[in-house]
Every structure is written in C-alpha cells, then in structure tokens.
C-alpha cells in the first residue's frame, strides 16, 4: 500500500467529517461537550426575546383587564345606583351578554400565546433533545459517585465529599447555584426509569424535601409535583427497602387518592416483609462490568492530581530539554519527569495561549461525539463522554509549527502514516474517559489497518485549564496528573520489544467544574525503527 492509499485509509478510520461543519456538529448530542452546551445559550437568548415580547403584550392586556375589573367593581360597590335606571340596566345586560364573553375569549390573549408558541417553534430544532437531559442527569450521578459528593450539598450548589463525619470541600464556587425540586426530581427519575434505585432514592428524597418546603406554590416551568416525587420515591423505597424520608402524604397532599393508596400499600408491604426483603435486596451502586479497577481509578480522581513530588523520589527531576535538536536550542522545553515506570514527562508551556485558542477554534466546528474501537466498529459509549475532531497539519500554519515542535521534542517521525492527525477533544458535563490503553490490545483493532503498526507513544496537550477535576490518572502507576494549561504530557505506550506496556493504563477523570480541552498526537511504531531501536530486554 502506497503513502496515498495509507493516508486514505487513515482518513476513513479516523472518520474525518466532510461537508458543512455546523451540520456535522448538529448531528451529535449536546451534553457530551461543554462547547456544545455553551452553544445552547443562543437559542435560549432568542426564547428570552420571544418571552419578553409576550410579557409586554400580556402586561398591556392585564392593565386593560384591571381597568375593566375596577369599572365593574365600582358599579357593584355603589349600591345607591338603582337598577331601574334604564342606562344601568342596558349596560348590565350588555356586560353579561357581550363584554364578559369578549374578556374571556380575548383575541389579544390568543394572539399573544400564539406568538410565544411560534417563537418557540422557530428555535425548537436547535434545542437539546431529551437524550441530552438524560445524559446530563447521568453526568451528575457520575460526579456524585467518583467524587463521593453529597446529594443535598449538590442541590444547594456545594461540592462536598462526605465520608462518615468528615466533610471535604472539593470546590467553592464564586456564586452558589442551587437546584430546584423539579431539577432533583428529573435526575432521580432518569435513574428510576433504568431501575437504578441506588441513585434514584437520594435525588427523589431531596426532591420531596424541596417540594414540601414550597408546597402550594405554583411554578409554570415545573413538570413534577410533590405527589409525583412521593409516588416515585415510594416505589423506589419498596424495591430497595432503604429510605430515610417519611413517605406519608397526609397533611400535605391528601387529595391525590391514587398516590396515597400507592404510598400506603408500599409502606404496609415494607412493614410486613421488610426484614425478609432486606436480606435479599440490599441496595448497591450499579456495577460497571468493564471497569475492574474502579476503586483505584476513583481514588486517584478524588485527589484531583497526586503525582509524587521530587523530594519524595530523588530520581524524579526537572530539566531544560533540547533532545539535540537545533529547533529547541534557543527555546528548550521545560521538562518535568512525573513518573519512571511508566516513564511519564510533563512539558510545561508546550503551547502558547494563542496557539491553544487557535487549535480550539479550528476544531470546534468539526466536533462530533467521541467513539471507541470495538472490534472493527466504532461505538459511542457511556464510559467516554466527549466530542472530538481531527485536524490535518495543512489546515493552519499553527498546526505545522506544532508538528515540528513535537517531532523535535520526541525525535520521532510524525508525518502520516507514521502518526495520526491531531485529535482535539472537548469534554462534556462530567466528561470523562474511564481506564483504557492508547495502544491496540487486539489484533482486530482498526489501528492495524493503517499498516503503520501500533501506537508507540502519546503526546497529550492540555489546551485549557479546569477549576476542579479532569486529572489524568495512571491506574497501575498509582498517580494522577492535574490539568496544567498549555502543558504536554508524554509517555511511551510500547516497550522497545513492541509489546504493550500495561503500566500505561490511564483515564481522564470526570470534569467536576470547568471546560476541558486536550489535543492528542498518537505516534505509530513503523517509521521509528532507527529513531527508537528495538531491544531484547522486555523491560525496556
């Protein structure tokens, strides 16, 4: 296969988008990239304009209705005016026969609400789908799990890890943003609908608590009510035999007889059979079959970055790196050795603020939901929540300069097909990538179809900073690296023998707060024969 054919195969395998980039981005879900979530602000601004015009129209209509009310009320309050007055009698009959009908069936009211609905329908196709609401709800549950966050605290806008009597503040927002009862209900309902009562119960309990505080207050935007939350919570408690909230609806919502009957039924069943059911049904966090290293992974994520310091391990060091390249002679790379096995190095200020911003701008129109290889297929999965785009070096001079810098630093051939195009990734709400290898671990991997061998090395550039979370965790190495804006993380995926290095199992921890962007450069083993020679030592 010639270089042209190999490049074509590379393009197919990497699924580079063609045509209208906006259309390509629109085909994917909103929640899986923060830049897509930010774009959702635009249609909401248009909806706000529509609602403002509706409110002004309604305010004028209500002022007119108030005038009509005051006029009729004054007639009723002035009892001295006799009904025998033919003018008064005529106006009374006219009001009852004509005026009231016109008020009740006001054309202005119909026109105002029609204009509001028309404005909504114009932007409806740009709004997130229900699947995005589900994805965002699952993201909150993921953050709740990985960072051991307290649901009540989350509902109040506080990011706290609660372990026993110990409370740790993971992030202190400049401005608290709390959730409503209906918000908590929607999160709980997403878990409930999949039979995940472990997550459903605390969110539904918080919804019940918040609904009870505001019982009797009507909010147009709410989909649920206290009755709904109690109904769902009652069944979830019955299924899991664990609940800390009183389910009794009496005194707050006795009119909903169906819901009251359900609650009483579940409470009776729990009282009669609770001890038997508890032995059989202990509520547990849903298992993640593909993730066998969950405890280690989450422990590393909770540290928000735990790489060892140099004074703890003297063999770790910092240096100015030129790699004997004239390109780096005048401006050497600032190298920090993070770990020795696997060998992981962090290069500080590898790109400038301007370069990072330019790369993000180039990638944003082409972002599509990230996929993973499953045999010969590319699949969207829950354990990788992000959007990504692939950029050729011919797209902009910034990418040409970046490739030269990477080649000088690594000493490797990074021209296609010996390296892949730059992959730019934007993480979504709670965006993450659970433990995985960058190199192929199966002969059926699509990587081998490129005829350039396995991925020998990874260089990952942090194109943004985050306020909390998002660390890169190396599971078997038992350390994590926090997001360092403009820095590049480098490691070898393969031993010199060509065998995969199992110590490179790594993960992108969920982003707790912030907008995380990275750029990946994956370099393949073919073409590097004289740049990184083989070795007979399996440990090299």
- Secondary structure (DSSP) of 341-355: TTEEEEEET-S-HHH
Distances (CA, A) of 409 to 131, 166, 350: 43, 45, 10
Cα 317 to chain centroid, rounded? 36
Distance CA(205)–CA(210), nearest Å, equals: 9
Burial (CB < 10 A; 0-12, 13-18, 19+), residue 220, is exposed
Distance CA(298)–CA(306), nearest Å, equals: 12
pLDDT tens, per residue, the chain with 540 residues: 444 434 333 333 333 333 344 444 444 588 899 999 998 899 999 999 999 999 999 999 999 999 999 998 988 887 666 667 787 787 888 888 888 888 888 888 889 999 999 999 999 998 898 999 999 999 999 999 999 999 999 999 999 888 878 888 888 888 888 999 999 999 999 999 999 999 999 999 999 999 999 887 878 889 899 989 988 998 888 777 666 555 554 344 555 555 566 666 656 665 665 554 444 455 777 766 556 788 899 999 988 666 655 556 778 889 999 999 999 999 999 999 999 999 999 999 999 999 999 999 999 999 999 988 776 677 888 888 999 999 999 999 999 999 999 999 999 999 999 999 999 999 999 999 999 999 998 887 878 777 899 999 999 999 999 999 999 999 999 999 999 999 999 999 999 999 999 999 999 999 999 999 999 999 999 999 999 988 777 777
Distance CA(471)–CA(483), nearest Å, equals: 6
pLDDT at residue 265 in the model:
63
SS3 state at 466: strand
Distance CA(81)–CA(90), nearest Å, equals: 14
Task: Enter the pTM of the model.
Answer: 0.84
- Secondary structure (DSSP) of 374-418: ETTEEE--TTB-EEEEEE-TTS-HHHHHHHHHHHHHH-S--STTS
pLDDT at residue 269 in the model:
60
Distance CA(185)–CA(192), nearest Å, equals: 10
| Angle (deg, nearest 10), helices 181-193 and 130-146 | 90
518's tokens? 């990275």
Distance CA(88)–CA(93), nearest Å, equals: 9
pLDDT at residue 11 in the model:
34
Distance CA(222)–CA(445), nearest Å, equals: 47
């Amino acid at each position: 296969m010639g270089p042209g054919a190999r490049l074509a195969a590379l393009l197919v395998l990497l699924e580079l988008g063609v045509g209208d980039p906006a259309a390509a981005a629109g085909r994917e879900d909103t929640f899986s990239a923060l830049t897509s979530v930010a774009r959702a602000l635009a249609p909401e601004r248009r909806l706000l304009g529509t609602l403002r015009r509706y409110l002004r129209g309604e305010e004028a209509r209500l002022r007119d209705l108030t005038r009509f009310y005051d006029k009729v009320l004054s007639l009723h309050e002035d009892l001295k005016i006799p009904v025998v007055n033919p003018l008064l009698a005529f106006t009374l009959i006219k009001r009852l026969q004509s005026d009231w009908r016109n008020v009740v069936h006001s054309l202005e009211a119909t026109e105002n609400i029609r204009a509001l609905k028309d404005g909504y329908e114009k932007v409806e196709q740009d709004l997130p789908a229900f699947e995005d609401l589900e994805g965002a709800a699952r993201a909150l549950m993921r953050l709740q799990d990985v960072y051991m966050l307290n649901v009540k605290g989350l509902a109040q806008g506080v990011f706290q890890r609660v372990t026993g009597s110990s409370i740790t503040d993971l992030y202190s927002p400049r401005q608290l943003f709390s959730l409503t009862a209906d918000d908590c209900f929607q999160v709980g309902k997403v878990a409930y609908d999949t039979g995940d009562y472990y997550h459903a119960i605390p969110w539904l309990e918080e919804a019940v608590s918040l609904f009870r505080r505001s019982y009797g207050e009507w909010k147009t935007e709410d989909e649920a009510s206290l009755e709904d939350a109690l109904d769902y919570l009652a069944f979830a408690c019955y299924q899991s035999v664990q609940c800390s909230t009183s389910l009794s609806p009496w005194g707050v919502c006795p009119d909903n007889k169906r819901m009251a009957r359900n609650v009483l039924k579940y409470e009776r069943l729990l009282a009669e059979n609770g001890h038997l059911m508890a032995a059989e049904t202990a509520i547990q966090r849903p298992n993640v079959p593909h993730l066998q290293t969950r405890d280690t992974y989450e422990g590393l994520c909770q540290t928000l970055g735990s790489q060892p310091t140099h004074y703890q391990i003297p063999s770790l060091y910092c240096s100015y790196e030129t790699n004997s390249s004239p390109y780096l002679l005048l401006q050497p790379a600032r190298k920090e050795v993070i770990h020795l096995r696997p060998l992981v190095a962090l290069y500080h200020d590898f790109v400038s603020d301007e370069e990072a911003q330019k790369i993000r701008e180039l990638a944003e129109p082409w972002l599509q939901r990230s996929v993973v290889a499953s045999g010969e297929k590319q699949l969207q999965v829950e354990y990788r929540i992000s959007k990504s785009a692939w950029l050729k070096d011919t797209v902009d001079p910034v990418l040409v300069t970046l490739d030269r810098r990477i080649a000088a630093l690594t000493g490797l051939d990074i021209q296609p097909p010996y390296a892949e195009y730059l992959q730019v990734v934007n993480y979504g709400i709670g965006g993450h990538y659970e433990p995985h290898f960058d190199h192929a671990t199966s002969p059926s991997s699509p990587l081998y179809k490129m005829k350039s061998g396995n991925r020998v090395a990874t260089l990952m550039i942090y194109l943004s900073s985050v306020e909390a979370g998002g660390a890169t965790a190396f599971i078997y190495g038992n350390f994590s690296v926090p997001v360092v804006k403009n820095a590049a993380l480098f490691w070898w995926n393969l031993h010199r023998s060509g065998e995969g290095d199992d110590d490179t199992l790594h993960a992108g921890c969920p982003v707790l707060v912030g907008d995380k962007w990275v750029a990946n450069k994956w370099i393949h083993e073919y073409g590097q024969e004289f740049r990184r020679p083989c070795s007979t030592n399996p440990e090299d």
